[in-house]
């Protein structure tokens, strides 16, 4: 129950920020860790602002989930 609650909060926050993410896969810890790691490293290396890094994280996360589902 706690897991679902947190996941819903995660999606709700993303929706607030980015207005329109549908069918978000919230049960992909490996994708979360990978996207988090890549976005963090690239954010620093490339001198991204927080919003750029945030959208990069979301896009990387989705790409990873799509790959897992193939």
Partner 1 sequence: MLIKNIAPVILTLCLTFFSYSQSNGKAYYKKTSSHNFKLSKESGNNANASKLFKSVNNSISDMEFILTFNNSLASYEYIKKLDVDENSSTAQFNRVFSGYSGPYYYNFKTNNVTRKQGAYLIKKQLSSFDWVLTKEKLIINDLTCYKATTIIKQQGRRGELLKPAVAWYTVDINLSSGPDGFGGLPGLIIQLEFDKVVTTLEKIEFLDKHIDIKLPTKGKKMTEAEFDALMKDMVENRDKYYDKN
CB burial of 1-20 (b: ≥16 within 10 Å; e: otherwise) equals: eeeeeeeeeebeebeeeeee
Per CB under 8 A, 50 contacts partner 1: yes
Site string for partner 1, 9-48 (x = CB under 8 A): xx--xxxxxxxxxx---x--x--xxx-xxx-xxxxxxxxx
Per CB under 8 A, 55 contacts partner 1: yes
Measured CA to CA in angstroms, residue 34 lies from 2, 27, 62, 63 at distances of: 23, 14, 11, 11
What minimum distance in Å lies between the beta carbon of 29 and partner 1? 4
Under the rule (CB under 8 A), what is the footprint of partner 1?
A: 2-3, 6-7, 9-10, 13-22, 26, 29, 32-34, 36-38, 40-64, 66-67
């Amino acid at each position: 129950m706690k897991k679902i609650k947190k996941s819903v909060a995660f999606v709700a926050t993303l929706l607030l920020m980015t207005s329109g993410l549908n069918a978000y896969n919230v049960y992909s810890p490996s994708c979360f860790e990978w996207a988090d790691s890549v976005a963090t490293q690239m954010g620093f290396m490339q001198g991204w602002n927080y919003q750029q890094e945030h959208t990069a994280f979301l896009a990387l996360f989705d790409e990873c989930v799509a790959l897992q589902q193939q």
